[in-house]
Amino acid sequence: MELRELGRTGERVSVIGFGCGPLGQEYGALDENEGARAVRHAIECGVNLFDTAPYYGRTLSEERLGRALEGVRDRVLLATKCCRYDKDGFDFSAERVRASIDESLARLRTDHVDLFQIHDVEFGPFDLILNETLPALRAVQATGKARFVGITGLPIEMLRRLADAFDVDTVLSYCHGNLMTNDMGAVLGPLAEHGVGLINASPLHMGVLAPGGQQAWHPAPTEVLEMGRRVSARCTDAGIPVARFALRYALDRVPAASTLVGMRTAGEVDENLTALEGELDPALVRELEELVAPVRDWTWHEGLKENAPSRL
């Protein structure tokens, strides 16, 4: 397993990280024992970054991950989040941050997390996050309950503004570092040059580049969803699974320390790790980049209107 420096934290993380949304059944029912086997198998294969949140499964992901990590907690970098607790349930207050870390530690069965992050900053007022929420995270860090602090969300422009205004250890964005939308490096890359650890999530564009396609609730424009089907069909014709192509594309072309992938079973862990083998066909890469060009870097917005990106 290749390891990369996570900014200036002094930690090295696996280039493929374990996204724990599936443990909370965010993508369908999952037997807990099967999920635990996936966690343990990933660790044995060298995956060391595990990212969860109270929101995933409305605490179920944290609870299951905590049980799965018993006896092996010291082998992983454990990341969780605060401020989002339900679909429309947000609280960016300092008081809620302080309570949230204790609740998460209890569910995760540990005395500290390695990374404590604000979940989906686009749903909070910028000034509140800057002047209250982020200082509260640093206060949590001072207690020893979190080693590092970070921010997460979809709109990379807002993430950049926050990171420019407040010293954070990591920035996590999703659906901005893959074949369909790959502007993460242009906007957030300069942060990495100054020691901020970048984490990429959703290399499959939240299922657009998955074999079975995206969930019905996917918020991307129809043209993007249709393009995903065309990319998948072309990968099938070329004899490479679309998910493997998409993951390797992200690993090769996004300046992130780690790329998070949701994994449900030990078999899925093995399948994702095949992306580390060999190289992509340059001709196929050029062909697919030209194919998606008409919708390249299209995005969408969820959250407060004031936090919407300048270009949609």
Whole-number Å distance between alpha carbons of 292 and 284:
12
- The mean pLDDT value for 256-270 works out to 96
Tokens of 296: 């390249």
**Is residue 169 within 8 Å of residue 7, measured between CB atoms?**
yes
- The mean pLDDT value for 122-139 works out to 98
Instruction: Find the range with the poorest average confidence among 42-51, 247-256, 301-310.
Output: 301-310
**Is residue 23 within 8 Å of residue 34, measured between CB atoms?**
no
Return phi, psi of residue 26, to 5°. -70, -20
Return phi, psi of residue 164, to 5°. -70, -30
pLDDT recorded at residue 11: 98
Proportion of the chain in helix, strand, coil states, percent, rounded to 5: 45, 20, 35
Q: In the predicted model, what is the mean pLDDT of the chain? A: 96
- The mean pLDDT value for 272-282 works out to 95
Question: What residue type is 61 in one-letter code?
Answer: S
pLDDT recorded at residue 100: 98
Percent of the chain with pLDDT over 70: 100
Using the predicted structure, report yes or no on whether residue 44 has a pLDDT greater than 70.
yes
- Known catalytic residues are 56
- The length of the chain in residues reads 312
Whole-number Å distance between alpha carbons of 45 and 217:
33
User: 115: which strand partners?
Assistant: 79, 148
User: Among candidates 134, 142, 140, which has minimal Cα distance to 118?
Assistant: 134
**Is residue 25 within 8 Å of residue 13, measured between CB atoms?**
no
- What is the tens place of the pLDDT at every residue in 201-235? 999 999 999 988 888 889 999 999 999 999 999 99
**Is residue 202 within 8 Å of residue 174, measured between CB atoms?**
yes
Whole-number Å distance between alpha carbons of 303 and 154:
9
Tokens of 282: 């340059």
Core vs surface per residue 137-167: b (16+ CB within 10 A) or e: bebbbeeebbbbbbbbbbbbbbbbebbeebe
Core vs surface per residue 100-112: b (16+ CB within 10 A) or e: bbebbbebbebeb
Cα dihedral 306→308→309→312 (10° resolution): -140
Helix (H, G, I), strand (E, B) or coil at 195: coil
Return phi, psi of residue 198, to 5°. -100, 135
User: Among candidates 20, 11, 23, 24, which has minimal Cα distance to 51?
Assistant: 20
- The mean pLDDT value for 155-177 works out to 97
Whole-number Å distance between alpha carbons of 68 and 144:
23
- The mean pLDDT value for 30-48 works out to 97
Using the predicted structure, report yes or no on whether residue 126 has a pLDDT greater than 80.
yes
Residue 28 pLDDT grade (very low, low, confident, very high; cuts 50, 70, 90): confident
- The mean pLDDT value for 4-14 works out to 98
Using the predicted structure, report yes or no on whether residue 121 has a pLDDT greater than 90.
yes
**Which domains does the chain show, CATH number per domain?**
3-307 (3.20.20.100)
Using the predicted structure, report yes or no on whether residue 150 has a pLDDT greater than 90.
yes
Residue 166 pLDDT grade (very low, low, confident, very high; cuts 50, 70, 90): very high
Whole-number Å distance between alpha carbons of 148 and 10:
11
- The mean pLDDT value for 84-88 works out to 95
Using the predicted structure, report yes or no on whether residue 311 has a pLDDT greater than 80.
no
